[in-house]
Amino acid sequence: GENVEQHPSTLSVQEGDSAVIKCTYSDSASNYFPWYKQELGKRPQLIIDIRSNVGEKKDQRIAVTLNKTAKHFSLHITETQPEDSAVYFCAASASGTYKYIFGTGTRLKVLA
């Protein structure tokens, strides 16, 4: 069935360094890929998304890249700050469906 793999499960970086989180999806019909940030006890918040007709999208310190051939997409956070510490979830969905398939999450710790 449909699946999204996400790596790593935990990631610790020094403040100011970059962080990269990678996801792989199985459904070739997937064409929308949102990323959510979830702080402890709070709702998942959309931070960036990308559609399959675009290879890269950037919003300030956050960027997402998509490789449709390899079915990979990645989240890049530059100049990390302590407030970036959270769990990050990738997701994939297809235009013929209503659901998101989420990855297993990455716990990012930014060390001051």
Q: Which residues of this chain interact with another protein, rule CB under 8 A?
A: 31-32, 34, 36, 42-46, 49, 51, 89, 91, 93-105
Q: Give bridge partners of residue 89 from the DSSP assignment.
A: 36
- Given the complex with another protein, which of 19 and 88 has the nearer CB atom? 88
Query: What minimum distance in Å lies between the beta carbon of 56 and another protein?
Result: 19
| Site of tokens 């990323």 | 35
Q: Are 75 and 90 in contact (CB under 8 A)?
A: yes
The two structure tokens encoding residue 37: 């940030």
Alpha-carbon gap, residue 106 to 87, rounded angstroms:
5
- Given the complex with another protein, which of 11 and 94 has the nearer CB atom? 94
Query: What minimum distance in Å lies between the beta carbon of 94 and another protein?
Result: 5
